[in-house]
Amino acid sequence: MSGRTLWQDERAIEGLPIRLVIALVVGVACLGVMMSVVGGFSSLNETELDTKPDPDVIDEGNQTVNVTVVSPDNEPIEDATVIARSDTAQLDSLARAETDGDGTAQLTIDPELRPNQEDGRIELKIQPPQGEYIDKQENTGILVVEN
């Protein structure tokens, strides 16, 4: 094929617009998949909360535990609701308390271990206050040991 014949060939120009449209559609689809894997842009403005129980290791039986709700910077968070529920250690019912100005909630729990169980865990969940706070990851729990 001579240089003059290639210059006069218009087939490549005819397919160019549709190829650009296909590339754009595939690119947008890939961007959508990547954004869903990351979790969306709205989660970038949210702060994950955690718990700091005191004491974090207790015996079976009736106990009072102070739980502080903190941000990643260890700042206490007030007006959050802390919920204690059974995990590998058993509770008769949920325990619930709201954090005060110091970010601390006082929970009264009565954990029990199953027969032949040396230790267990009480799970702590947080109902964050209104704002940019979330609680999606597992929080620091309370370890219950056999007395």
What are the backbone angles phi and psi of residue 74, rounded to the nearest 5°?
65, 25
pLDDT tens digit sequence for 54-111: 888 998 989 899 999 998 888 998 999 999 999 999 998 899 999 998 999 999 999 9
For residues 89 and 112, the answer to whether their CB atoms sit within 8 Å is yes
Check whether 117 has a pLDDT greater than 70. yes
